[in-house]
Chains A and B, each alone.
Chain A
């Protein structure tokens, strides 16, 4: 696995985003976002609908190609490489290798419906990391246990509740042992009574030292788990700081307005 940059990694952030811009046609969705995330840090991103939170996460693992700006993980450029002083796009194979290190948890789970829970968790270790079936299943069962779903290993996704599906999706990401995990509103497609079980798993990962970027509307959860909170609006970071301060003593009027709006719901 590519660990380029590890040597120099001690002092530098795990994730570095430099002046990221993204346009869809004429629509400017990200207008210059810069952000550093340290190893082991938990950063929550909040903001109104359409502010570009999902787009930011999708750019980080290059599901969306940025219009400008650069992303580094452990000092390695994501999605592109430098040739002289020009940036050129990576090949599919090179990009795939970089994505192994970035886990993405989707709002709508995106489990593979033709595979069992265990199949979902083992397919990437087998097909990407080339682990043997035995090794992949041993790892997969560990991960399912971690999310409390050992007993559902042989169930197909359609027979699982939303909360269980999302926990399988988290196990699927964990089985790749990523350096960085991205959560895009992991609980907002869930019925209220199922949110707790997913947040519990995320909290546990946080306590184990994972590096996490979490887009969420769960203010309480964000305040407890994250070291830092970022408020985004209209494609910009409007305010960021320690979670207590941004969430409970926001400086910007727009942040206050948004938090009030969310609490009224």
Chain B
């Protein structure tokens, strides 16, 4: 059978099966994003702290999560955590794993954003009696967000694509279902291409959004 005959015969079946993996893909992606946004801010604030006792562990964290494969991190959490008494479900492990990994990358986006704001802004806020935390909250971060939004959007795209590795710990997301279909029907190219096309349908609009945010940021400055 040719490529197109296969698609004609099984295309709809492939499509609906793969589609049923999207809730899991989106849950992992958005869960990990929220995790990374919150935890990444903590890491970033620790990294720019004047206090070495905070800076040092944050740097170690960053080095570890950027320097080792995400798959290794995922396996440590899913297969290793039970040894320490916590058995995460595949979905939990996926969100924690990609979230912790993402936090390392996102913390650098936060840091660059914060450091792009002129020192005088923090000084003015402090001189008015704000604590450093309040100054961050009301003065620095609201300004830094403009700089951070385009790379954050780009990072979300990367994160969405990276969810494809969590099939390896048994999350039934798009990639896992694609592999099941392949074993079931003994065809591969049409299925994987269809899965790829589905990712593109989400990532292309996101990439355009990132580009638009970037243009706006430049226009404001």
User: Which A residues are closer than 8 A to B by beta carbons?
Assistant: 61, 63, 92-93, 96-97, 99-100, 102-104, 106, 108, 110-114, 123-124, 127-128, 169, 172-173, 176
Contacts and interface: CB of A to CB of B under 8 A. Distances in A.
Interface string B123-153: 1111111111110001100110000000000
Contacts of A102: 127
A63 B130 contact: no
Interface string B23-35: 0000000000000
B85 interface: no
A106 B129 contact: no
A113 B143 contact: yes
A172 B120 CA distance: 15
Given A108-B120, A110-B120, A123-B139, A99 B127 contact: yes
Contacts of B216: none
For chain B, the bracket of interface size reads 10 to 19
B62 to A, nearest CB: 24
A111 B127 CA distance: 12
12 contacts: A92-B132, A92-B133, A96-B134, A99-B129, A106-B124, A110-B120, A113-B143, A123-B128, A123-B138, A127-B130, A127-B138, A173-B128
Contacts of B89: none
Contacts of A127: 130, 134, 138
Nearest to B134: A127
Interface SS of chain B: helix
Given A96-B131, A99-B126, A127-B138, 4 more contacts: A63-B123, A99-B127, A104-B127, A114-B143
Contacts of A124: 128-130
Interface string B99-132: 0000000000000000000101101111111111
Interface of B: 118, 120-121, 123-134, 138-139, 142-143
B20 to A, nearest CB: 44
Contacts of B142: 114
Contacts of A111: 124
Contact of A106 (B120, B131, B132, B133): B120
A100 B139 contact: no
A124 B129 CA distance: 7
B129 A97 contact: yes
Contacts of A92: 131-133
A96 B138 contact: no
Contacts of B123: 63, 104, 106, 110
A93 B133 CA distance: 10
Contact of B124 (A96, A97, A112, A128): A112
Contacts of A176: 128-129
Nearest to B137: A127
Contacts of A96: 126, 129-131, 134
B120 A99 contact: no
